[in-house]
Structure 1
Amino acid sequence: MSKVKYYYDPESLSYRKIERKKRTTLKYAFMFLLGSALFGFLFVFLASQYVESPKERALKRELQNVQLQFQLLNRKMDEAETVLANVADRDNNIYRVFFEANPIPDEQRKAGFGGINRYKNLEGFDNSKLIIATSKRLDILQKQIVVQSKSLDEIAKLAEEKEKLLEAIPAIQPVKNEDLKRMASGYGMRSDPFTKVRKMHWGMDFSAPKGTPIYATGDGVVVRADEGAIGYGKHIRIDHGYGYVSLYAHLFKYNVKKNQKVKRGELIGFVGSTGRSEAPHCHYEIFKDDVRINPINFYYGSLTAEEFNELLENASLENQSLD
């Protein structure tokens, strides 16, 4: 029950009951409700600005964690870019130089992405700049890795070809030093043993006893093992690939046959004196792209520096050939 209030009336010298008008009551009620609403709104507004809800605190922690992850990702990309730059430097200045391949320009390695905006869907967020910058770095890094990967694939192929080339090129003497009587004649103008006329001697003569082993000077395929060439007698030709062919003439007998694959150092025949020959020896020639070249430059795989100098000195003497 509400309290009844009175006021003192000096005219009547008595207390009178305070009568509140209905309009006034409604007015007070309205003002109370309005004040309450304004207070409530202000409270909610201030709370939303300065007081975080559990959900907001969780989202804030999640955002901070994402920012930290982006920072860590950028550090890892810094490290990856440093490593990749080192690999690219070695690729251009060591690997490609060794295998005689053109270096990859920096413009090709570090090129960005032109055309349409690839990152439009990442715009409009609080951390859009960070996200877009990181995405660009990651895309460029991935592209550089692809370029480098293709380059290393090419280097690996070149290395494989180089290894095959080094195995194929004639690189040893056809007759071992301990089996030689002497290096009878070299490449160049020599006196013919039969006519005594100076003429071009297209190979090198290794004098050795009949039956001395003759070895393949490089990997290849036997393309001839017959007596069909005039003057060579029993002879063998090995195709080494890459334009190289080696010839071994005046053999006593064969140890290989046509189309047989051989390895460097493999026994292919024996010294003889068949064909146009004055004494047992191995006449040795090398062809490059069907042109005869001096075999003296192809013994790096079996001779020391001293042995090579001695061989070079003997080969340069303008003596008489044995065929």
Structure 2
Amino acid sequence: MKKIKYYYNPTTLRYEKLETPLRVKLLRALGFIAGSLVTALIIVSIAFQYLDSPKEKILRQNYERARDNYDLLNMQLGKLKQQMTELEKRDNEIYRSIFEASPIPDSARVKEMEKQKEIQLVQAMDADALYTDIVTNLNNLIKRAAFQHKSYDDIDGFIKNKEILLAATPAIQPVSNTDLRRIASGFGYRIDPVYKTVKMHAGLDFAAPQGTPIYATANGAIKLAGNTGNGYGNHVIINHGYGYETLYGHMFKIKASSGQKVKRGEIIGYVGSTGKSTGPHLHYEVHKNGKRLDPVYFFYNDLTPEQYDRLLKMAAASNQSFD
């Protein structure tokens, strides 16, 4: 039952029923509603400031996972960069040194890649910055790997060319000389057998019976085969490429012909005593880019170190040449 309130009216000197005007009721209702709204807004603002909504919780969890994944990727990228740097260093300092090739500059390995400072600390990065940083690092590694792959393709070509170069480099004795007794005169100033004066002897003389086979000391093509009246008699010159040529003089008989391709160890003629010669022997020369070299340094392919040392001493002896 609703309680009825009364008040004492001093004018009428009696108790009268207390009635609240409608205007007052409305003001009270509006004040209550306004206070409730303000209180609700304060509570909501505090909640939004210190408490996450379910959606924000999910987003925050996703962000934390993304940051952890970035840390892991960044660590793996660091390892890959270290491995790539080691490969590039090995490429420049070892592989290309073996084949006498110029090292590849870093600018060629990573086109349009500039050395950048660290963008930010991972904690300060937003999702876009994390993504951009990962993509940038991966693109740089892809470019470096592509250039490294091309470099190794080049080295593979160097190996093949090196095999060809080794096959084209004089590396055996031009006559059979297993007992090392056929070296008659070495490279350098020797006594001329005809004029009895000291003259430059630009090759090695191998004393051997007439008809002893003469072998090509490296792969190449016959540049000259015949007698041109220059004192070498019947002689052969082989162009091996890479600046190498060899000369075989005073042959009894030439087996090879001009323009013919020959392999190392193939018979190109036979020992004789034609031209300016005092007896059957082979005069053998090695040229590199037109310069005459001591042939004794090109017999490493068919001699042991002990035999080679003995041969060096024999070739260095001062004596009279055969031509």
| TM-score normalised by length of structure 2 | 0.76
Partner of 1:113: 114
Partner of 2:45: 45
Partner of 1:282: 282
Partners of 2:108 and 2:217 in 1: CA distance: 43
Partners of 1:178 and 1:105 in 2: CA distance: 49
What's the Cα RMSD here? 4.0
User: Does the aligned pair in 2 maintain the 1:236–1:249 contact within 8 Å?
Assistant: yes
SS of the residue aligned with 1:250? strand
User: Does the aligned pair in 2 maintain the 1:112–1:140 contact within 8 Å?
Assistant: yes
Please report how far the alpha carbon of residue 173 of structure 1 lies from its aligned counterpart in structure 2 after TM superposition: 0.9
Q: Does 2:259 correspond to 1:259?
A: yes
Sort the Cα spacing of 1:79 and 1:114 in 2 relative to 1 into closer, same or farther, 3 A.
Answer: closer
User: Does the aligned pair in 1 maintain the 2:238–2:246 contact within 8 Å?
Assistant: yes
SS of the residue aligned with 1:223? strand
Alignment of 1:143-158 (within 5 A): none
SS of the residue aligned with 1:40? helix
Sort the Cα spacing of 1:54 and 1:182 in 2 relative to 1 into closer, same or farther, 3 A.
Answer: same
- Give the letter aligned to residue 257 of structure 1: S
Partner of 2:222: 222
Cα deviations by residue, 1:152-193 (Å, 9 ceiling, x for unpaired): 566556555544433322122111224876222222334444
Q: Does 2:270 correspond to 1:270?
A: yes
Partners of 2:60 and 2:266 in 1: CA distance: 76
- Give the letter aligned to residue 215 of structure 1: Y
User: Does the aligned pair in 1 maintain the 2:215–2:267 contact within 8 Å?
Assistant: yes
Which shifted more, 101-110 or 156-165? Answer: 101-110
Partners of 1:30 and 1:258 in 2: CA distance: 121
Alignment of 1:92-131 (within 5 A): 92-100=92-100, 113=114, 126=126
Sort the Cα spacing of 1:33 and 1:10 in 2 relative to 1 into closer, same or farther, 3 A.
Answer: closer
Which shifted more, 279-288 or 162-171? Answer: 162-171
Please report how far the alpha carbon of residue 67 of structure 1 lies from its aligned counterpart in structure 2 after TM superposition: 0.7
Q: Structure 1: state its 5+ residue gaps.
A: none
Partners of 1:20 and 1:243 in 2: CA distance: 123
Sort the Cα spacing of 1:65 and 1:211 in 2 relative to 1 into closer, same or farther, 3 A.
Answer: farther
Q: Does 2:178 correspond to 1:186?
A: no
Partners of 1:274 and 1:265 in 2: CA distance: 23
Partner of 1:69: 69
User: Does the aligned pair in 2 maintain the 1:6–1:15 contact within 8 Å?
Assistant: no
Partners of 1:170 and 1:229 in 2: CA distance: 26
Please report how far the alpha carbon of residue 284 of structure 1 lies from its aligned counterpart in structure 2 after TM superposition: 0.6
Partner of 1:24: 24
Please report how far the alpha carbon of residue 92 of structure 1 lies from its aligned counterpart in structure 2 after TM superposition: 4.9
Sort the Cα spacing of 1:28 and 1:9 in 2 relative to 1 into closer, same or farther, 3 A.
Answer: closer
User: Does the aligned pair in 2 maintain the 1:226–1:236 contact within 8 Å?
Assistant: yes
Partners of 1:180 and 1:310 in 2: CA distance: 8
- Give the letter aligned to residue 265 of structure 2: G
- Give the letter aligned to residue 246 of structure 2: S
Q: Structure 2: state its 5+ residue gaps.
A: none
Sort the Cα spacing of 1:24 and 1:265 in 2 relative to 1 into closer, same or farther, 3 A.
Answer: farther
Alignment of 1:203-242 (within 5 A): 203-242=203-242
Partner of 1:292: 292
Partner of 2:79: 79
Partners of 2:181 and 2:311 in 1: CA distance: 13
Please report how far the alpha carbon of residue 7 of structure 1 lies from its aligned counterpart in structure 2 after TM superposition: 1.6
Partner of 1:313: 313
Sort the Cα spacing of 1:256 and 1:24 in 2 relative to 1 into closer, same or farther, 3 A.
Answer: farther
Partner of 2:250: 250
Please report how far the alpha carbon of residue 242 of structure 1 lies from its aligned counterpart in structure 2 after TM superposition: 2.7
Please report how far the alpha carbon of residue 6 of structure 1 lies from its aligned counterpart in structure 2 after TM superposition: 1.0
Which shifted more, 42-51 or 246-255? Answer: 42-51
User: Does the aligned pair in 1 maintain the 2:180–2:311 contact within 8 Å?
Assistant: no
Partners of 1:203 and 1:140 in 2: CA distance: 56
Partner of 1:33: 33
Partners of 2:187 and 2:125 in 1: CA distance: 80
Please report how far the alpha carbon of residue 257 of structure 1 lies from its aligned counterpart in structure 2 after TM superposition: 2.9
Please report how far the alpha carbon of residue 309 of structure 1 lies from its aligned counterpart in structure 2 after TM superposition: 2.6
Partner of 1:6: 4
SS of the residue aligned with 2:264? coil
SS of the residue aligned with 2:189? strand
Cα deviations by residue, 1:231-272 (Å, 9 ceiling, x for unpaired): 323322111223221011223444433233333333333333
SS of the residue aligned with 2:285? strand
User: Does the aligned pair in 2 maintain the 1:278–1:322 contact within 8 Å?
Assistant: yes
Please report how far the alpha carbon of residue 52 of structure 1 lies from its aligned counterpart in structure 2 after TM superposition: 3.0
Partners of 1:239 and 1:208 in 2: CA distance: 25
- Give the letter aligned to residue 272 of structure 1: G
- Give the letter aligned to residue 87 of structure 2: V
Please report how far the alpha carbon of residue 138 of structure 1 lies from its aligned counterpart in structure 2 after TM superposition: 5.8
- Give the letter aligned to residue 83 of structure 1: Q
SS of the residue aligned with 1:177? coil
Partners of 1:306 and 1:42 in 2: CA distance: 100
Please report how far the alpha carbon of residue 287 of structure 1 lies from its aligned counterpart in structure 2 after TM superposition: 1.6
